[in-house]
Chains A and B, each alone.
Chain A
Amino acid sequence: MALGAGGPLGVALVALALLAFSGLGAWLAGGRSERGSVWLGAGGAVAACGLGLLASVRALWVSGECLLSAPWRIPYGEFQVGLDPLSSFFLIPLFLLSGVVAVYSVGYFRPWPGRNPGRFWLFYNWLVACMGLVILARNGVLFLVAWEAMALASFFLVVYDWQEAEVGPAGWLYLVATHLGTAFLIALFVWLGRESGAQDFARYAAPAGMAGWVFLLGLIGFGTKAGLYPLHVWLPVAHPAAPSPVSAVMSGMMIKTGVYGIARLLVLLGDVPAWCAWLVLLTGAATGVLGILFALAQRDLKRMLAYSSVENVGIITLGLGLGLLGVATGAPRLAVLGFAGALLHVLNHAVFKGLLFLGAGAVLHATGLRNIEMLGGALKRMPWTGAAFLAGAAAICGLPPFNGFVGEFLIYAGAIRGIVGSGAGVVGGVVAVGSLALMGGLALACFTKAFGIVFLGEPRSGMAAMATEVGASMRYAMAALAGFCLLLGLALPLGLRWLEPVVGQLSGGAAAPPGRAEEVLIPMALFGLLALLPVVAGALAQVRRRLLAERVQRESATWDCGYAAPSASMQYTATGFVQPLTEAASGILRPRVESELPAGIYPAGGAFRSETPDAARQLFFDPLFRRAARRMGQLRWLQQGRVHWYVFYIVLALVALLAWAVWT
């Protein structure tokens, strides 16, 4: 069904324009009135996201395709945007999360001590607008321009607190990583454009027999943004440095633009060879397991969440890999379940990871601490934040009835479908089930640690003890996302029909729609039962009250084993809590431990220090860049500092180009 330009696409474009202008307006107004600037920036963002959300849901509902192009005076470029089911689907989490985070940001940055709030709103609104444009773009040049603008907007948000020492290096690392990724994307689009003679997506054609290599270029380029292992190194550095609302949007949505890129590339290429499916599957498994292992070893709450994002991108990639394997081996059900699971996890992860980062931001806002070891007892002091964080943690561990369960369940169902089948699907299914189960278990340990140490027990430092609940806008935003976690968990199984067109696009239309495969029907009934879970819980509570009605009840402190002077330092530490697991994985994690164990019967003291630097960075990227710097240093003699020489270099280049043009 074709949609007119005045339909959802037009509305989505209006939303993007509104974002761009409200950001600019907030920046201009920032010098004069802080209040006006915040109202303009946040109001524009919320209005635009609401509008965009309506448009994208509507577009997915009617599942049509439409295209809009306008002339654009850039070589090979054309301002061509389009809305198809895949784009509509990715726009939903974008607008949902960005709108809620905008509300949160109002409270988070209050009272904007001594700085212009417009700077944040300018880049925030532009970041959201650029992500939207990336998803809508249907021309290679336009896509790259939007991609680059998105990277720059997010860079400026990462270095928002540039006065702090750790922020500068983190920003540079992010900038370098994103540009290295973009370099691969430029190569990708140039290659595709060369083959087809145009940069329009509709006219792209994979070079004969080279589709796999084209896809590999895209996997590296988009994988850098998505955070695939070992290209994830910027994530655990940039996220802790960025303000929390920014981390929420970057982790919840911006890295998903990398996933979108991979999915779009699959649609454009149509068919990729089987080795690509294996590559995606194994990359996803490795990314997931390594991501959650490193998350386990972190003490910085936000860095832990960043590694957990790496894990979740791994789960999504694993689902894509299963889907590709299904397409490659002609197993439509495997394909459908894999793709549907991956897509649902994109949406779900945006909601719960956004929520968790907002929760971490609330804790940071209230205590000034990101180090888990110094926190504790936050649930009593910040009940809203604690409850919301708990919902997010349950969702990310894939516990029903929250939304994380749905996507992972579909991937599990797909993998098991592969195992009971025959051929390559068996191996793929075993890999997927094994790694998913490992990830699930480790994620549970990881978030038990995070919630337990941060929110339960007693505060481990004075700053943690002084925490108070955050302001209304932050509470409402977190509550809204927590509500979405539950709502999506209950509603998504019923809404699988909506995914049909998207999955159809990814699997080349060959596969059966997910709503009709019986594998999904059974779990759907199961999901339906999950809706009864709150009812069961309520009934149990009722029974308990009834039973306790005749007895004497009193509340007192937890039994302290008779010890009269407990202190907060007697509690489990975060490191101690996960020590058995990190110890077992020390070959992979390679922690740096300095310990001075207590000795003797009456030990005078002891010390323990451990640190888990990123292995991929330590072993691969740092040596690589050091060597590159040394090599490049040898070219220093070219830098003479004299204008004459520089002009001479230009002349040499021009003459060489002229000679090349004349004699070839």
Chain B
Amino acid sequence: MQDWMGNVLIALILTDLLLLGSSQLRNAIRLMAVQGFVLGLLPWLAHGKLTGAALLMGATSAVLKGGVFPALLRWASREIHVRREIEPLVGYIPSLLIGLGVLTGAFVAGARLTLPWASPSPLLIPTGLFTAWTGLFLIMARRKALTQVLGYIVLENGIFILGMVVVEAMPLLVELGVLLDVFAGVFVMGILVFHINREFSHIDVDQLDALREETL
């Protein structure tokens, strides 16, 4: 079980790195789907046995993040004809380099962080931190609103992974609540992106600053 868990976590780190380097939106969505599906295995692996709660949590995650969200995003990208991220705010190669630096930091922090619960795998905390950061980074460094929605889902994946540490302590209800929250969020954002595109004929988020309050 232990090495399976390690393999899954390494796969998750690899998807994060690939996400940082992918310019094609379709690729990124596919990576996210893979990540979401693999994530569904984690509660089972972390528990060591298949309990009802783990099954429910894993299955919900796999279906939502591996199936529903990617389909929704794919539909949105088709509708608004956005295929690739042109001119990201931080380039792909620099993104990867920064990502490697943060990954190192995440391992250092994960090793030093003392937790009240025993972690099922030494890789778990660094993977969670790195995935959450990847999500935030995608929101920060990319222009298209769709990529940002994607970043939001990846961020939630990171939180999900970190939640595995406390899988015994964290009530199922909280996790399901977060999932519902993300579902609603993605749904709203998908529609919003669609409408922004129709109104302004682009979804470049950095041009939203026209909406800010004028300085005094």
Instruction: Give chain A's interface residues, CB within 8 Å of chain B.
Output: 633, 636, 639-644, 647-648, 650-651, 654, 658-659, 661-663
B141 at the interface (CB under 8 A from A): yes
* Alpha-carbon distance A353/B96, docked complex (angstroms): 70
Question: Which B118-154 residues have C-beta < 8 A from chain A?
Answer: 129, 133, 136-137, 139-141, 148
| A644-B139, A644-B140, A651-B133 as given contacts; A662 in contact with B113, CB under 8 Å | yes
Contact between B212 and A640 (Cβ–Cβ < 8 Å)?
Answer: yes
CB pairs A–B below 8 angstroms (29 shown): A633-B215, A633-B216, A636-B216, A639-B212, A639-B213, A641-B209, A641-B210, A642-B205, A642-B206, A642-B208, A642-B209, A643-B148, A643-B206, A644-B140, A644-B205, A644-B206, A647-B136, A647-B139, A647-B140, A648-B140, A651-B136, A651-B137, A658-B109, A658-B129, A659-B109, A661-B113, A662-B108, A662-B112, A662-B113
* Alpha-carbon distance A662/B211, docked complex (angstroms): 39
Nearest chain-A residue to B211 (Cβ)? A641
* Alpha-carbon distance A328/B113, docked complex (angstroms): 50
Nearest chain-B residue to A629 (Cβ)? B216
Nearest chain-A residue to B209 (Cβ)? A641
Q: Given A643-B139, A662-B108, 5 more contacts at CB 8 Å?
A: A636-B215, A639-B215, A644-B141, A651-B136, A651-B140
Nearest chain-A residue to B90 (Cβ)? A644
* Alpha-carbon distance A661/B113, docked complex (angstroms): 7
A-B contact count (CB 8 A): 48
Q: How far, in Å, is A629 (CB) from chain B's closest CB?
A: 8
* Alpha-carbon distance A662/B126, docked complex (angstroms): 13
Residues of A within 8 A of B140 (CB): 644, 647-648, 651
Residues of A within 8 A of B205 (CB): 642-644
B89 at the interface (CB under 8 A from A): yes
CB-contact partner of A640 in B129, B133, B209, under 8 A: B209
CB-contact partner of A644 in B89, B133, B210, under 8 A: B89
Residues of A within 8 A of B137 (CB): 651
Q: How far, in Å, is B207 (CB) from chain A's closest CB?
A: 9
CB-contact partner of B112 in A642, A643, A651, A663, under 8 A: A663
Residues of B within 8 A of A651 (CB): 133, 136-137, 140
Instruction: Give chain B's interface residues, CB within 8 Å of chain A.
Output: 89, 108-109, 112-113, 129, 133, 136-137, 139-141, 148, 205-206, 208-213, 215-216
Residues of A within 8 A of B112 (CB): 662-663
Residues of A within 8 A of B136 (CB): 647, 650-651, 654
Residues of B within 8 A of A650 (CB): 136
* Alpha-carbon distance A641/B208, docked complex (angstroms): 7
Nearest chain-A residue to B142 (Cβ)? A644
Residues of B within 8 A of A647 (CB): 136, 139-140
> Which 6 A-B pairs rank lowest in CB-CB distance, beginning with the nearest?
A641-B212, A641-B209, A662-B112, A636-B215, A647-B139, A647-B140
Nearest chain-B residue to A633 (Cβ)? B216
Q: How far, in Å, is B127 (CB) from chain A's closest CB?
A: 15
* Alpha-carbon distance A79/B211, docked complex (angstroms): 44
* Alpha-carbon distance A640/B89, docked complex (angstroms): 15
Q: How far, in Å, is A419 (CB) from chain B's closest CB?
A: 56
* Alpha-carbon distance A662/B129, docked complex (angstroms): 13
Q: How far, in Å, is B122 (CB) from chain A's closest CB?
A: 15
Residues of A within 8 A of B129 (CB): 658
Nearest chain-B residue to A649 (Cβ)? B140
Residues of B within 8 A of A644 (CB): 89, 139-141, 205-206
Nearest chain-A residue to B106 (Cβ)? A658
Residues of A within 8 A of B215 (CB): 633, 636, 639
Residues of A within 8 A of B206 (CB): 642-644
Residues of A within 8 A of B139 (CB): 643-644, 647
* Alpha-carbon distance A648/B98, docked complex (angstroms): 14
Residues of A within 8 A of B216 (CB): 633, 636
* Alpha-carbon distance A232/B216, docked complex (angstroms): 29
* Alpha-carbon distance A434/B91, docked complex (angstroms): 77
Nearest chain-B residue to A644 (Cβ)? B140
Residues of A within 8 A of B89 (CB): 644
* Alpha-carbon distance A47/B209, docked complex (angstroms): 55
* Alpha-carbon distance A654/B133, docked complex (angstroms): 10
* Alpha-carbon distance A647/B210, docked complex (angstroms): 18
* Alpha-carbon distance A306/B208, docked complex (angstroms): 47
Residues of A within 8 A of B211 (CB): 641
Residues of B within 8 A of A642 (CB): 205-206, 208-209
Residues of B within 8 A of A662 (CB): 108-109, 112-113
| A636-B215, A636-B216, A658-B109 as given contacts; A643 in contact with B208, CB under 8 Å | yes
Residues of A within 8 A of B141 (CB): 644
Among B129, B140, B141, B148, find the residue whose CB has the most chain A CB atoms closer than 10 A.
B140
Residues of B within 8 A of A640 (CB): 209, 212
Q: How far, in Å, is A654 (CB) from chain B's closest CB?
A: 8
Nearest chain-A residue to B132 (Cβ)? A654
* Alpha-carbon distance A643/B205, docked complex (angstroms): 7
Residues of A within 8 A of B113 (CB): 661-662
Residues of B within 8 A of A663 (CB): 112
Nearest chain-A residue to B136 (Cβ)? A651
Residues of B within 8 A of A658 (CB): 109, 129
